Every structure is written in C-alpha cells, then in structure tokens.
Amino acid sequence: MPSPIRRIFDPHIHMTSRTTDDYAAMYDAGVRALVEPSFWLGQPRTSPASFYDYFDGLLGWEPFRAAQYGIAHHCTLALNPKEANDPRCLPVLDELPRYLLKDGVVAVGEIGYDSMTPAEDTALAAQLQLARTHELPALVHTPHRDKAAGLARTLDVLRESGLPPAFVVLDHLNETTVGPAADSGCWLGFSIYPDTKMDPDRMVRILRVHGTERVLVNSAADWGRSDPLKTAHVADAMLAAGFEEDDVDQVLWRNPVAFYGQSGRLRLDATGPETQLFEGNSILRGGE
C-alpha cells in the first residue's frame, strides 16, 4: 500500500504511447509529474514536418491529457540519434532553437548514441551546444548495444561540449556503467524495465552502493515492453530494503525536481494529492 504522502516524478516516460488507463494507474500510484522526452516512434519518420507535429503534441495534446489525470507534464525535445542518421530528418536541427524556447521544455533530449556513426557525433555535439545556448539541461542516453564503449565516447563528447556535468543526466545506466558515469559528475539515470535490463531489486542494490544523491529513476515506458508503474515498484523495493520514506522522496521526487528545475521551467504548482482534475474532460467523454 503506497504511503498517502508518496509523490513520484517520472523523469523519463513516453506517454504518447500510453493509454488513459496508464495515467489513472500512475496517479493512483503517486505519480504527480513527469517528463516525456522526444524519441523514436518505432516507425522511422521521413520528413521534418512529422517531427514538428510530434513536438506540437508534446507541447499541446499530451500535457492536456496528463492534466486531466492530475499529472504535470513536461517534455524534452531533440532529434534522436537513430533518425539523425537519415539526411531527410536533419533540417529538424535548424528548427530546434525555436522549439527549445517553449514553456514546458525542460531539457534537450533524448540525445546520445545509437550506432555511434559520424552523423550521430555531429547531431550530439550540435545539440549539446543548443543546451548551452538555451541554458537547458541535457538528457543523454547511453546506447542499448555496446554500452560501455558508447558511454566512454559519450563522456568524451560531453567534456568537449563545455556543458557542466550538473546539467547532464546519463540515462539507461546499469551496474557496468554506473562507476564511470558517477565519476563524470553527471546525474545518474536508471530505467527500470519488466525484463532483465534493470529491475527494482538491482536498482536498490545500486542505491545501497552509490547512495541516493544525483540518482534519477524512471520507467522509460513507451510502445515496447515496459511498465509505467516501475517507479512506484522501486519505491516499494527501497522501503522493503530498509530505506526511509525520505530517501524514497529524494530519489523519486526531489532529485528530478532539482535536475529539471535547472531549466527554470518546471510547473509543479498544480500537483499534489489535492490536485483538481480538469473539468472539461474531452478524453473521459472521449470518442467524439
């Protein structure tokens, strides 16, 4: 049974791919705020305009949907590394500065490496500079394949960028990459999945070793096999392992608030257990 005061901020979840049932279940589990990074939709896009519609959704429809379930929605915007390899999508980089100004954009991301190509080098470096000029943090994921080498190369590019480590979260970390990531001074992001990539008990063991500072835990839920309640499961596992409620609050609320708060654009005034649901609910009545 979650504590009545539990509040959860999921710092990385792709709600565009989720249903309203998920929003309701997340609210019941204590989720009151989230960040949705722009990413690959599973089907490759072939034109910049299709990115702009997606960005518009992250700045319009999705925050509206979230608000109806009492959850504050923010986003991060970027050209993701996979699609940075398609020259047809590259004009997105020129339009990004305009989008990065928007209220509700709390970081540049997800950026990072997918297959570690020269095109990905260019897109990553260019977008780290956009983060600098817009005074925004950066959400940098580590690649799913060849993770250790990918992290090393990512750290090199980050050093060259001049973006302060405090403005960077390295995401999708695990036991093998947490050491060098922690040494870099960046924030440490862990995505908890229903399969073997990273589970709540392993997360708790990492928290025991590395402590609760600078750690962000997310569900990274999307259109793949994933679970939007994984953040709550980590909270339960922490308590079961002897962590205090205050540790849970630090990892699952205060840390993401501190990290994304560096953007100066978080809006959390309407969050909390007493949050009013939006009155005119075109989703609940739906089906139009």
Partner 1 sequence: MLTPLASLRTGLELRLTADARAWLHLALSEASGAGEDGPGGGLPPWERHFVTAGRRCHATEQQPGPSPDPVDTVDAVDAARVLILHAAAPGADAVAALYRRGSAGERRAVLLALPHLDPPPATEAALGLVEDALRTNDTRLVAAALGPYAAAHLDAHQWRHGVLKCLFTGVPLAAVAGLEHRAAGDGELARMLEDYARERTAAGRAVPEDLEHALRLARFDEPPARPARRPHPQDRTEGSES
Tell me the CA distances in angstroms from 8 to 14, 44, 68, 86, 254, one per residue in order: 16, 32, 17, 36, 9
Closer of 54 and 243 to Zn ion (Cβ) = 54
**How many residues in total does the chain contain?**
288
Closer of 43 and 285 to partner 1 (Cβ) = 285
CB of 161 to partner 1, least distance (A): 20
CB of 48 to partner 1, least distance (A): 13
- Residue 285 sits in the site that holds partner 1 (CB under 8 A): yes
279 interface partner picked from partner 1, Zn ion, none, CB below 5 to 8 A per type? partner 1
Answer for the pair 228, 192: CB distance below 8 angstroms, yes or no: no
- Residue 54 sits in the site that holds Zn ion (CB under 5 A): no
Near partner 1 in 238-267, by CB under 8 A: 264-265, 267
Among 39, 54, 113, 260, binds Zn ion (CB under 5 A): 39
d(CA 118, CA 120): 5
In DSSP notation, 216-271 reads EEE----SSS--TTHHHHHHHHHHHTT--HHHHHIIIIIHHHHHHHTTT----TT-
- Residue 190 sits in the site that holds Zn ion (CB under 5 A): no
Tokens representing residue 149 in the block: 């080498």
Please give the size of the binding site for partner 1, defined by CB under 8 A: 23
Binding site for partner 1 (CB under 8 A): 56, 59-61, 63-64, 97-98, 101-104, 264-265, 267, 278-283, 285, 288
